Structure 1
Amino acid sequence: MIALSLTSEGNEHGVGSSGGHGPSAPPDLKDLARQWSSELRRADVHPFLITAMVQRISLHIERQFVDIARSHGLGAGDLRVLLALARSGPEYALRPTELFRQLLITSGAVSKQVERLVALNLVRRATHPSDIRIQLVVLEDAGHQIARHAMETIISSFCGLQSLDTQQSNEIAAALKLLLTTVESASDLTEGGKRE
């Protein structure tokens, strides 16, 4: 099981417990959490520790994803559009509204990304074959090849995740699912149960 603990050797402020990291190394998150726990009179700071870990992980993931996108001459948002289309099924086509809902971005951002991809001949705009009122974004062969190559990179050598064994991967995925459900449920409550 995955567990988080703030207990360690050293004083309560984490002084001298950085594990020998150099001055340029990022701060140890448990040290920061212990410092806040001490400052707030032993308050439970696990929410801070969890969010700090997620933020740091997201930075590493985004940096590597950006590198993958740049290797194909694209921005990260452009690549996400191609990946969404590539997983959409044999027609490889989605409505613009489906794209921005899946990618959790605005319709304006999707429009700009689609325009860039159209100019690169990676996607094209088309009308639905059974309803000309419905506009579609369709993945071209060149865009499909980029999406497949990018996903093959992600599942084979991305942020060191390939070094995790099956049990570790399953435990982490389960913990992250719980975290995601918790965060999204709280978001629903604060937004009155409504989502864009």
Structure 2
Amino acid sequence: MNDRANLATEQWQQERPDIDAAVMALVGRLLEATQLIERDWLYPLATQFELHQGEFDVIATLRRSGQPYALTPTALYESLMLSSGAMTSRLDRLENKGLIERSRAPEDRRSILVRLTPAGLALIDKLLPLHVANEQQALSALNQAEQRQLDTLLAKLLTGLHNKPE
């Protein structure tokens, strides 16, 4: 396998030896790993079940919210870090597939609840074990201890990225 990050670092070392390009290699590897996991592991599995990856994320979020498997659109898009427009189109597609339903919230008639239908619940319960096994396989180049270490480091990195100084 070509390590494009190493090649780029070597080229920068040749062209600009005054700059330490190692950080560029690290960021490049993070971006490439994300792209490969999405393209080669996550999207194909979702597609087998006639879902876009983002649709899987919505029904998985509803499922993990617990009974009655319902959230407001705002709670959904905040959980998924999406814009409200992106959420609306996902919800429209999922509703057309019969996997979710939207209804008025009983405690606030101005508010909408998005709820898994029985078909949506059955689908995510069938798909979830396959998804977890798929992610385990995608990360199988790392042993369990390495996966925990990477998880710890990425959590630390994300905390720092979220706390970017103004």
Bin of the TM-score, shorter chain as denominator length:
0.7 to 0.9
The structural deviation recorded for 1:183 is 2.2
Residues 33, 46 of structure 1: 8 Å contact kept:
yes
Percent identity among equivalent residues? 26
2:71 matches 1:94: yes
Secondary structure at the residue paired with 2:17? coil
In our comparison, the structure showing a higher alpha carbon Rg is: 1
Please give the alpha-carbon distance, in whole angstroms, between the structure 1 residues aligned to 2:9 and 2:127: 36
2:116 matches 1:139: yes
> Which residue of structure 2 aligns with residue 119 of structure 1?
96
- The letter of the residue matching 2:139 is L
Residue-by-residue CA offset, 1:141-178 (whole Å, 9 max, x unaligned): 22122223332123223353246433112111011112
> Which residue of structure 2 aligns with residue 129 of structure 1?
106
Please give the alpha-carbon distance, in whole angstroms, between the structure 1 residues aligned to 2:108 and 2:4: 56
> Which residue of structure 2 aligns with residue 176 of structure 1?
154
Count of matched residue positions in the alignment of Structure 1 and Structure 2: 164
> Which residue of structure 1 aligns with residue 56 of structure 2?
79
Identify which range, 139-148 or 151-160, moves more after superposition. 151-160
> Which residue of structure 2 aligns with residue 9 of structure 1?
none
> Which residue of structure 1 aligns with residue 5 of structure 2?
29
> Which residue of structure 2 aligns with residue 52 of structure 1?
28
For the structure 1 residues 39 and 156, does the alpha-carbon distance in structure 2 shift closer, same or farther, using more than 3 Å as the test? Answer: same
Residues 37, 138 of structure 2: 8 Å contact kept:
no
Q: Residue 40 of structure 1: which of 2, 13, 16 is its match?
A: 16
Gaps of 5+ in 2: none
- The letter of the residue matching 2:88 is S
For the structure 1 residues 41 and 76, does the alpha-carbon distance in structure 2 shift closer, same or farther, using more than 3 Å as the test? Answer: same
2:116 matches 1:166: no
Report which of the two has the higher share of helix: 2
RMSD of equivalent CA atoms: 1.9
> Which residue of structure 1 aligns with residue 43 of structure 2?
66
- The letter of the residue matching 1:160 is A
The structural deviation recorded for 1:58 is 0.8
- The letter of the residue matching 1:155 is V
TM-score by length of 1: 0.76
- The letter of the residue matching 1:46 is A
TM-score by length of 2: 0.88
- The letter of the residue matching 1:128 is A
Please give the alpha-carbon distance, in whole angstroms, between the structure 1 residues aligned to 2:138 and 2:80: 24
Gaps of 5+ in 1: 1-20
Deviation above 6 Å: which 4+ runs of structure 1?
Answer: none
> Which residue of structure 2 aligns with residue 17 of structure 1?
none
- The letter of the residue matching 1:80 is D
> Which residue of structure 2 aligns with residue 148 of structure 1?
125
